[in-house]
């Protein structure tokens, strides 16, 4: 009888089954079950019920508001991300590490605190509140504040994806182009952009997902006016709190589909273009 000799560093079969079982069980119960529930509840009234809840005017208004907020926040943060990564990767200047830490700051701040700081700036007891009222300018509990907090919470996404990538790539290619007479804009468009396009897309994807899904920060500054200042996640809350579970889970399912699409695209980028992403995402 031949006995299979186990490599000394390979786990025995029972351990593989145990750890594999724990992993699959934990992920299934903790992560997949909530996802399954969302779609089951959304379709509880059949596709017709789903469609009715989806096309309800307040639901559509929330979709529109979310798209507007993300449509402003994501491009602005993308321009910022490119500028920040260009400055940090292509030049030497003091306190660079400190700057990177500051850029990451919004990630470690609670979303509610993010909303709070804008209330303290624009609220009635805030810095600018009384002045704004005098001039009849509405920022808090209106679109501008919703856009501002969305920018705040999604601030680092593109930058933190591009900074390590562009630092890794160095500046030789750009310097060569500049030496050969290319303008700064030409250098960026023809040399840098092709090198970072997949990383950029990766950052924009995550930024967009968070912008559409942000809840805590927007909740603080929105004022919760149904059909006017409710984004999709806020509309979910409003319906749920009013015991309209079918409606709540319908909008939730739409957001969940968006999340799944984001995950799918993100995985494709990680598998297909791993070499062109920041090192942390290479599998």
Binding status of residue 14 toward other proteins by CB under 8 A: no
CA distances, 139 to each of 124, 215, 223, 224 (Å): 11, 18, 11, 14
Binding status of residue 55 toward other proteins by CB under 8 A: no
59 CB contacts (<8 Å, ≥6 apart)?
53, 235, 247, 250, 251
Binding status of residue 252 toward other proteins by CB under 8 A: yes
DSSP letters, 13-67, are HHHHHHHHHHHHHHHIIIIIHHHHHHHHHHTTTHHHHHHHHHTSHHHHHHHHHHH
Binding status of residue 196 toward other proteins by CB under 8 A: no
Binding status of residue 173 toward other proteins by CB under 8 A: no
Angle 128-133-135 from CA coordinates, rounded to 5°: 100
Binding status of residue 99 toward other proteins by CB under 8 A: yes
Structure tokens at 253: 């399912």
Residues 222-241 interacting with other proteins (rule: CB under 8 A) = 232-234, 236-237, 240
Q: Which of 90, 167, 226, 228 binds other proteins (CB under 8 A)?
A: 90
Q: How far is the CB of 48 from other proteins (least distance, A)?
A: 22
Closer CB to other proteins, residue 65 or residue 232?
232
Q: Which of 60, 112, 133, 225 binds other proteins (CB under 8 A)?
A: 112
Closer CB to other proteins, residue 41 or residue 58?
41
Closer CB to other proteins, residue 81 or residue 198?
81
């Amino acid at each position: 009888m031949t006995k299979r000799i186990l490599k000394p560093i390979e786990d025995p079969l029972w351990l593989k089954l145990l750890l594999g079982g724990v992993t699959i069980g934990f992920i299934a119960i903790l992560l997949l079950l909530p996802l399954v529930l969302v779609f089951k509840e959304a379709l509880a009234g059949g596709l017709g019920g789903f469609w009715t809840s989806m096309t309800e005017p307040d639901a559509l208004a929330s979709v529109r508001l979310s798209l507007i907020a993300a449509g402003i926040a994501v491009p602005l943060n993308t321009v910022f991300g490119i500028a920040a990564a260009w400055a940090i990767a292509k030049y030497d200047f003091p306190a660079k590490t400190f700057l990177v830490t500051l850029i990451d700051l919004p990630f470690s701040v609670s979303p509610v605190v993010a909303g709070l700081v804008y209330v303290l700036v624009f609220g009635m007891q805030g810095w600018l509140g009384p002045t704004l009222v005098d001039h009849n300018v509405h920022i808090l509990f209106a679109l501008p504040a919703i856009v501002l907090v969305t920018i705040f919470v999604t601030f680092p996404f593109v930058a933190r994806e591009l900074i390590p990538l562009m630092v890794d790539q160095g500046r030789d290619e750009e310097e060569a182009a500049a030496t050969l007479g290319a303008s700064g804009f030409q250098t960026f468009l023809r040399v840098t952009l092709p090198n970072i396009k997949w990383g950029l897309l990766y950052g924009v994807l995550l930024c967009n997902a968070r912008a559409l899904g942000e809840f805590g920060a927007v909740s603080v500054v929105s004022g919760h006016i149904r059909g006017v200042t409710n984004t999709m996640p806020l509309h979910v809350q409003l319906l749920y709190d009013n015991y309209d579970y079918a409606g709540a889970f319908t909008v939730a399912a739409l957001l969940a589909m968006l999340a799944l699409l984001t995950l799918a695209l993100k995985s494709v980028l990680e598998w297909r273009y791993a070499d062109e992403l920041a090192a942390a995402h290479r599998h």
